[in-house]
Structure 1
């Protein structure tokens, strides 16, 4: 019996487990990608099935170089496989100029406790944050992190000179900056940093009396739990968002309902997922009637985004054809300015095609996305393309190997 193929070893999860010498993770991830049972895997590596089970569960450590080599040889690891590399983002720059001289003078002057912060300064910072959110949709998060940290420091520095309602505005603005930094950390797979920033944002939102942001941070924590495959936690956090802010805007409440639906879908609870999706749909319709009442960070939340979420939930429920239909429709309505999201949802569409037995379509969608997945789409889009390739290889489709080769050229 031979291993399914070398292409699986380009998958980031498998390479990460190997780099960490997590042999239980190596076996577990390889089996997930290849579809092998523990019994078949044990035959490949020359161990009995209970030993493989104990290694995967962490009950037995692999300390013998002989056993390590048997695992690598039995699973067909190529000699050149190493751990994942961090790849710099090439050639990305912020569009347009930075803050104007007048705003810089206002910030530096207002940061002195002898000066008072004025509303025009905060208005300009609100607009600047909105511009940075739009830039992040286009160029990804990596080029923006340093800039946004500096900008948050400037906002915090304004608090000493703020009085009355303006002090609340400064805290609210700091909360929005912290939430944006949390999202960017999450986008880069930096879970601990993201949780820290979400906690800071949540605290500031409560201090400023901003129910919309307080609920949003809980919803985004639910999104993180969903990304990590923790459906129960995603549901709990999303329900906490729903309970904590009953007076939040319809869009914010709709996001919380949709996040709860994601968690239920991840758990395979289709009825609960669709019930909450219907509720989220009604809230979206209400939000669209009065968009001026929605907070600035909900600019993306609308019919197109909701259609894409239906596609994601269909994927969890293994309705691959339905997922492809929703994702294809959503992508058709998604502006080119959402370059990062177009990459992510395009990779998910390719995955849905691969799982529904359409490898040619999966490859056709995947190949143009590889360059963006390798830059603005790491780690999420990048990993999704590797998962797509693994699904095609597992089914015996030659297109999977072609996708692996394209990914190697950008690794």
Structure 2
């Protein structure tokens, strides 16, 4: 292993996982950074390979103090990180970059949308049209400035929408519920973007229920697609595939764009699991669906505005990374980034950090470092935690290869921390 312990454990995803005793994420991230197999990692911590696999997949929890001590000693976890974990248990935030204002849905929202609030206010179509436009503007703003500045204002906006329900009648009542589902989905995405899994899952569940109540198949399927995306981001390939498949069979009649989203999510799940043939077959199927969707963009729900062939090219790059087809990943990510408008600042930051990782893994250390270092300011500003973690991963790959650029990148990341 080429990394020194200090540099390895400076990776924010590792630090956060230790702080919350999430040993599955510790194992997965440690192996990703070091290139160790499950067997070799098990030898370091005194566990057999099946036990390491179960811990990584969440099938087994590490509750024994003796096993935890073996993990700490075997992986060389610094004492400062363990102290941070104790601080987290006492209510302190171990990694400031992962802090997020509380965004969990409360039970009162469901009561209010079910009609528990007595209101004499009448709702008209013009008011709902205005709220539709406002939500669309906030979605586009989030592409540019990231999710953090919008969490509080979007929660208040959802409160406003829900409070309108008691004064709505007939088709307008259905529109209010549909609008509430869209707001909840957006809040879920923002929580997911900040790696707040519990809040994201709760908001997706709330959005899914409201979408079903409003008869909105596209939103119901979208929430399952986004849950699949969350499973993929957590390294849970099987769950990603199952949720994407559920999106297809549980919500028939969805738009071509939503269907294509489900198929490509299933493809990425298979790629994550190393199933190259199935991943490529589904990517080709998704490509066909998305091409047909592009012929009639007016048929797509408003929240799918970002979903086009450029975005899909970037997803092909992500799948290629999981399949360790690094040169193909570089090609797709480069083409996609060249076509992605600057309005998508958050996404451009993310995909640039992925490109830096793919370049490092393909042996192009100098080009990787150039792309990575240019991404640091935006990653520090709007790309935490995901882009920030990817830059640390890129640095670890470069250092493992003995490239001097890795330590230069680590130094720059520390300057912006």
Considering the TM-score relative to the shorter chain, is it more than 0.5? Answer: yes
Q: Determine the C-alpha separation between the residues in 2 that align with 1:267 and 1:143.
A: 35
Q: 1:383-394 alignment to 2 at 5 Å?
A: 383-394=389-400
Which residue in 2 is equivalent to 1:104?
A: none
1:61 aligns with 2:65: yes
More displaced 10-residue stretch of structure 1: 356-365 or 269-278: 269-278
Q: Determine the C-alpha separation between the residues in 1 that align with 2:314 and 2:209.
A: 31
Which residue in 1 is equivalent to 2:7?
A: 7
> Does structure 2 retain, via aligned residues, the 8 Å contact 1:268–1:317?
yes
- Shift in Å, 1:63: 8.2
Which residue in 2 is equivalent to 1:316?
A: 322
2:207 is aligned, of 187, 201, 208, to: 201
> Does structure 1 retain, via aligned residues, the 8 Å contact 2:396–2:406?
yes
Q: Determine the C-alpha separation between the residues in 2 that align with 1:368 and 1:18.
A: 29
Which residue in 2 is equivalent to 1:289?
A: 295
- Shift in Å, 1:379: 0.9
- Shift in Å, 1:22: 6.7
Q: Determine the C-alpha separation between the residues in 1 that align with 2:267 and 2:39.
A: 35
CA 1:233/1:40 → structure 2, altered by over 3 Å: closer, same or farther?
Answer: closer
Q: Which has the larger radius of gyration?
A: 1
Q: Secondary structure at the match of 1:400?
A: helix
Paired positions, count: 382
Which residue in 1 is equivalent to 2:46?
A: 51
Which residue in 2 is equivalent to 1:145?
A: 151
Residue by residue, what CA displacement relative to the aligned partner does 1:118-170 show, whole Å, maximum 9, x if unpaired? 11111111000000000000000000000000000000011111111111101
Residue by residue, what CA displacement relative to the aligned partner does 1:68-110 show, whole Å, maximum 9, x if unpaired? 88557xx495979974421499xxxxxxxxxxxxxxxxxxxxx
More displaced 10-residue stretch of structure 1: 331-340 or 4-13: 4-13
Q: Determine the C-alpha separation between the residues in 1 that align with 2:38 and 2:258.
A: 44
When the two structures are superposed, what TM-score results if normalisation uses the length of structure 2?
A: 0.84
Q: 1:365-384 alignment to 2 at 5 Å?
A: 365-384=371-390
> Does structure 1 retain, via aligned residues, the 8 Å contact 2:267–2:278?
yes
> Does structure 2 retain, via aligned residues, the 8 Å contact 1:9–1:81?
no
- Shift in Å, 1:16: 2.5
Q: Secondary structure at the match of 1:117?
A: coil
Residue by residue, what CA displacement relative to the aligned partner does 1:246-272 show, whole Å, maximum 9, x if unpaired? 211110111011111111111111111
> Does structure 2 retain, via aligned residues, the 8 Å contact 1:4–1:394?
no
Q: 1:337-356 alignment to 2 at 5 Å?
A: 337-356=343-362
2:271 is aligned, of 255, 265, 269, to: 265
CA 1:159/1:9 → structure 2, altered by over 3 Å: closer, same or farther?
Answer: same
> Does structure 1 retain, via aligned residues, the 8 Å contact 2:39–2:48?
no
> Does structure 2 retain, via aligned residues, the 8 Å contact 1:38–1:52?
no
Q: 1:9-408 alignment to 2 at 5 Å?
A: 9-20=9-20, 29-36=29-36, 51=46, 58=62, 61-62=65-66, 71=74, 75=76, 77=78, 83=84, 84-87=94-97, 113-408=119-414
Residue by residue, what CA displacement relative to the aligned partner does 1:219-272 show, whole Å, maximum 9, x if unpaired? 001001111101111111000101122211110111011111111111111111
More displaced 10-residue stretch of structure 1: 32-41 or 285-294: 32-41
Q: Determine the C-alpha separation between the residues in 2 that align with 1:251 and 1:69.
A: 46
CA 1:19/1:323 → structure 2, altered by over 3 Å: closer, same or farther?
Answer: same
Q: Secondary structure at the match of 1:378?
A: coil
Q: Secondary structure at the match of 1:10?
A: coil
CA 1:25/1:182 → structure 2, altered by over 3 Å: closer, same or farther?
Answer: closer
Q: Determine the C-alpha separation between the residues in 2 that align with 1:397 and 1:2.
A: 10
- Shift in Å, 1:289: 1.2
- Shift in Å, 1:4: 4.3
Q: Determine the C-alpha separation between the residues in 1 that align with 2:409 and 2:27.
A: 23
> Does structure 2 retain, via aligned residues, the 8 Å contact 1:320–1:356?
yes
Residue by residue, what CA displacement relative to the aligned partner does 1:281-325 show, whole Å, maximum 9, x if unpaired? 111122111111110000000011010001001101110000000
> Does structure 1 retain, via aligned residues, the 8 Å contact 2:365–2:403?
yes
**Structure 2: gaps of 5 or more residues:** 56-61, 85-93, 100-116
CA 1:229/1:138 → structure 2, altered by over 3 Å: closer, same or farther?
Answer: same
CA RMSD of aligned residues (A): 2.9
Q: Determine the C-alpha separation between the residues in 2 that align with 1:153 and 1:135.
A: 20
